[in-house]
Amino acid sequence: MVKIALVSCGTEYSGIQKEIEKAALTFGAEIILPEIDLDYIEESYTKFGFSAQSSSLKLMIARAMSIVEGRCKADAVFVASCFRCAEAALVRNEVRRFLQENSRIPVVTYSFTEKTKADELFIRMEALVTTVARRSILAREKQEGLTLGIDSGSTTTKVILMEKNKVIGTGWNPTKDIMESVYKGTEQAFAETDYGWDDLDGIGTTGYGRITIGKELNAELIQEELSVNAKGAVYLADKQKGEATVLDIGGMDNKVITVNNGIPDNFTMGGICAGASGRFLDMTSRRLDVDITELGPLAVSGDYRNAVLNSYCIVFGIQDLVTTLAAGGSKADVADAACHSVAQQVYEQQLQEIDIREPLIQVGGTSLISGLVEAVSTTLGGIDVIVPDYSQHIGAVGAALLVSGLGTRQEDKKA
């Protein structure tokens, strides 16, 4: 059983201890608490150098130290503290960095409230267990052979065909019937090459439909999107070493993943407000009567400050934009205001929950809207934002990369 050390300042006082343990058990892991004595707390906290006022944070530091010094045997570490506690946020991030710099043990961090449910913890625990069990796969930095990556998202199905560390075919379809969308996307990808199903070495699947598709196609890799998207993003952006943040503003939900050496260590996901999603930009482009592909360059040529936008809401915000147009405002200013509205709301709802690390790699379909990329950078104080090639296919690229080396279909045929 995978042992996950809980390094926290008091999950038991927030009423979420049971949820954490339940989430770990679901993925065949158990939560352990590094046992230490009082003297060791003083000693390790002094050695660490952070003068925390809260004794539980001192305990948190000491527990991290005991893992690094090998006093506690853990396979992975879950670092958690209360949401909105500034002192805990500082210590949480420094402890995370300390563990990553001084051990090879995978770490995931989380800031919780009393409303944290097990399903919010599931993807983190799954990613942790995956990292422990599949470290060798996540260490892959180069694609080999001929591999197919399939990302079955809630809105679209993306397919990528890779060979010799290069993308050679792409497919992109709205997700309707899951398998039908996959076959259609795969045909599109194969159409750009002379290859077919029989030539593949391996298939990797990710996204909401990954298990169904994986079973149907006997995929060699069926993997949650947190690890796959993170890996795909740093691979395409050529940032496999060091730290980075991956931002995916999707059509229905948004993901922000922080990454250390290609392995995800924190994650936040939102999906409650259409005004903070690609859907807002889709509606704006319809109102402006421009194709969504033209919205980005149009926004870049405009100035959001010239458009009145008093609401982030997809209903009232769009009404504000229409009012600006009626008052003689330019389409470019309105397009820019819409991009800034989405960027600011993503910032307020999600980016504040996570420690943003440069570079920021923006992926997903909305990363192709240049106005939004610029707005994200401006909102974050001019941070460097990278949009790699094939950014809209990130999950599929990650799956195709990670499955290489696992597939032995051609060798099996010869045997």
Question: Binding residues for other proteins, per CB under 8 A?
Answer: 9-10, 12-18, 38, 41, 52-59, 81-85, 87-88, 112-115
Beta bridge partners of 256: 247, 268
Nearer to other proteins, 10 or 153 (CB): 10
SS3 153: coil
DSSP state of 201: S
Q: In angstroms, rounded to a whole number, what is the distance separating the alpha carbons of residues 393 and 5?
A: 34
Smallest distance, other proteins to C-beta of residue 95, A? 15
**Min CB(57)–other proteins separation in Å:** 8
Quick one: DSSP state of residue 209?
T
Q: Least distance to other proteins from the beta carbon of 388, Å?
A: 37
DSSP 290-337: --HHHHHHHHHTS-GGGS-----STTHHHHHHHHHHHTT--HHHHHHH
Give min distance, CB of 285 to other proteins, in A.
Answer: 37
Distance, in Å, from the CA atom of 134 to the CA atom of 211, rounded to the nearest integer, reads: 17
The DSSP output letter for 28 is T
* Nearer Cβ to other proteins (16/77): 16
By beta-carbon proximity to other proteins, the closer residue of 83 and 347 is 83
Nearer to other proteins, 39 or 238 (CB): 39
| Shortest Å, Cβ 355 to other proteins | 17
Answer yes or no: are the C-beta atoms of 125 and 23 closer than 8 Å. Answer: yes
Closer to other proteins at the Cβ: 6 or 221?
Answer: 6
Complex with other proteins: residue 16 or 343, whichever CB lies closer: 16
Q: In angstroms, what is the minimal distance from the CB of 39 to other proteins?
A: 10
**Residues 8, 64: Cα–Cα separation, whole Å:** 10
* Least gap, CB of 92 to other proteins (angstroms): 12
Which residue's CB is nearer to other proteins, number 82 or number 276?
Answer: 82
What single DSSP character describes residue 258?
E
d(CA 26, CA 31): 12
Element (H, E) at 152: strand 146-152
* Buried residues in 288-324 as b, exposed as e (16+ CB within 10 A): beeebeebbebbbebebeebebeebbbeebbebbeeb
Cβ-based nearer residue to other proteins, 26 or 56: 56
Closest CB 21 distance from other proteins, rounded Å? 8
What is the closest distance, in whole angstroms, from the C-beta atom of residue 114 to other proteins in the complex?
A: 4
Q: Smaller CB distance to other proteins: residue 54 or 410?
A: 54
How many CA atoms lie less than 13 Å away from 350 in the CB half-sphere?
27
CA 413 vs CA 8, 31, 167, 201, 202: distances in Å: 51, 43, 24, 10, 13
Contacts for 231 with CB less than 8 Å, ≥ 6 apart: 138, 140, 262, 398, 401, 402
The token duo for 301 is 């040529």
